[in-house]
A and B are shown apart, each in its own frame.
Chain A
Amino acid sequence: MSLLTVKELTKSYQSGKVAVDYLSFTLNKGECLGLVGESGCGKSTLARCLLRIEPINSGSIYFNNEPIESLNGRQLYSYRKKLQIVFQNPLAALNPKLKIKDSLVDPYLEYAKELNLSYFSFTSKAAFVKQLLEAVELPSSLADRYPHEISGGQQQRVTIARAISIEPELIVLDEPTASLDVISQRAVLTLLTELRETLNLSYLFISHDLAAVNQMCQRILVMKEGHLIDEFNRRDLFDNERHAYTKELISIY
């Protein structure tokens, strides 16, 4: 069953550069879909278009079979409470002047009235924050720290905790491990896989790291210069039918 369907999405910037060109794909419920490509191929732009923080030129986006590309303002509200994003640089994604606990409860407080959490439960702010930190394997003592007082891996876990706090259906992971060292990368990837199973999430995993994508995802898309050039199941990664560019990516690893 499809959760997110993108049809013929096109996005170009004012300078005339086409970042995403006529892109179509489907993301099924409960799956982790990988999106691989080199820097500047339009991966992050696609993520921003899906979040509806960048206007799109043409095409359509369906979420749970409802078109969301023309919604605005309040109409987006019910869509956004089912979608979260984790960015590449966790330090930029956390307000340096707010304590971890205050950053964590942001999405929940906004959607509290319409949410019906099954895994977490909100009894008090402190208890909720503790639950969230435990879910991402962080000590609850971090709640009173500022973002710059904890390590990069911990920061990224906090942004993941924030993303899962409202139990969304889809999380867009925009290169979530790119700014971490190898050991933290692996730990974060393992955590993400576990969370997907416990919380019944779907991921759109955007990365330039084919190894990570191969570890995480069931299906993989390959993007180059705004075009979708290859789409395959993980087990077909080393298949002979793969696009020349995919083979080139494989040969690098």
Chain B
Amino acid sequence: MSGLSLHLQKLKKFSWSGIAALICLIFILFVVLYTFFHLQHDPNLTNLDERLQGMSLQHPLGTDQLGRDVLTRLLLGAQQTIGYSLLALLAALIIGVPFGLISGYKRGLVDRVFMRIADGFLAFPDTIIAIVLSGLLGPGIGNLVLAIIMVKWVSYARLVRSTVLAESQKEYVLVARTNGLSPIKIIRKHLFPHIIGHVLVLASLDFGKIILLISAFSYIGLGVQPPTPEWGAMLNESRPYFQTRPELMIYSGLAIVVVVLLTNMLGDYLRDHFDVKKEVEQ
């Protein structure tokens, strides 16, 4: 019973912004997916007769400099931006978390070798890696995602390693070991609950940063290539019309701001949610 009341109290206390952020994000994803399956306009079909039109029933947000429907491009752009950000984030998690787990649990030589490799990756700023990779392999979203993964996995590996390092010294892990639990079981049952919170918080905060990175690199032409719609690239394309049609930049700029804001709110919520101890202190 007391567990239930505690839970209710927690919900009342600090979850509304997080829940709202989560609902908004799910709504956005749903709308984006809906657009993908029920396209009203071809996002890449140019129609110079209808360029730079204002709002109308047929084009709710008007058309851009090549006569393409802005709303369709905005929603499909979300697919590119959010989709590739998610892809980069998941790949970074898949590489980073096991790396950190092994490194923290095995210690010794394995730990030292793994961490020096991680340090090597950490030495390069993401901008440099992205520019070098697009220089070597040509500009494109694939290379940009690769560059982001190469930079981001390190922080997950280090976070997981430090948590595992601290927790696996404690007596409950010792007890689990004397009870014959295999390392895999110990990691899954005893260490994973400690890691998951930290990782989810970092991931949701990183998600916003990755969206910004992908948009920024697409803006300077190293990410998604035209005519594929992407928020950063759309910002760049509408830049010459900033004085006559400022809303073209505002739409995609606002879209980036809103999604990054929502993911950060979600990150804050998750941080509170996974802090079991804080729950009791209130």
Contact = CB atoms under 8 A, between A and B. Distances in A.
| Chains A and B form a bound pair | yes
Contact of B277 (A77, A98, A102, A148): A148
Given A89-B171, A95-B172, 5 more contacts: A96-B276, A110-B185, A111-B179, A145-B2, A159-B175
Given A92-B171, A93-B171, A94-B172, A85 B178 contact: yes
A149 interface: yes
Given A96-B276, A110-B181, A145-B3, A87 B189 contact: no
A98 B191 CA distance: 10
Given A89-B171, A148-B277, A149-B280, A95 B190 contact: yes
Contact of B172 (A53, A92, A107): A92
B245 interface: no
Interface string B164-201: 00000011101111111100010001100110000000
A97 B179 contact: no
B190 A53 contact: no
B178 A53 contact: yes
A103 interface: yes
Contact of A53 (B3, B177, B194, B280): B177
Interface of A: 51, 53, 76-77, 80-81, 83-85, 87, 89, 92-98, 102-103, 106-107, 110-111, 141, 144-146, 148-149, 159, 162
Given A97-B276, A98-B193, A80 B179 contact: yes
Contact of B180 (A110, A144, A149): A110
Nearest to B185: A110
B193 A95 contact: yes
B9 to A, nearest CB: 14
A51 B181 CA distance: 14
B175 A93 contact: yes
B181 A106 contact: yes
B175 A144 contact: no
Contact of B3 (A97, A103, A144): A144
A80 B177 CA distance: 10
A141 B189 CA distance: 22
Interface in B1-23: 1-3
Contacts of A77: 180
A85 B181 contact: no
Nearest to B180: A110
A243 to B, nearest CB: 32
B184 to A, nearest CB: 13
A144 B2 CA distance: 9
Contacts of A87: 171, 175
Given A92-B172, A95-B172, A97-B193, A80 B181 contact: no
Contacts of A92: 170-172
22 contacts: A53-B174, A80-B179, A83-B178, A87-B171, A87-B175, A92-B170, A94-B172, A96-B277, A97-B276, A98-B190, A103-B172, A107-B179, A107-B180, A110-B179, A111-B179, A111-B180, A141-B2, A145-B3, A146-B280, A148-B277, A148-B280, A149-B280
Contact of B194 (A83, A97, A102): A97
A94 B185 CA distance: 16
A162 B175 CA distance: 10
Interface in B71-130: none
Contacts of A96: 276-277
Contacts of B185: 110
Nearest to A144: B3
Contacts of A145: 2-3
A36 B176 CA distance: 27
Nearest to B174: A53
A101 to B, nearest CB: 11
A162 B194 CA distance: 21
A110 B180 CA distance: 7
Interface in B204-248: none
A144 B3 CA distance: 7
Contacts of A111: 179-180
Nearest to A90: B171
A81 B180 contact: yes
Contact of B178 (A51, A95, A148): A51
Contact of A80 (B2, B3, B180, B193): B180
Contacts of B2: 141, 145
A81 B180 CA distance: 8
Contacts of B175: 85, 87, 93, 106, 159, 162
Contacts of B194: 97
Nearest to A166: B179
Contacts of A102: 189
A98 B178 contact: no
B170 to A, nearest CB: 5
A102 to B, nearest CB: 8
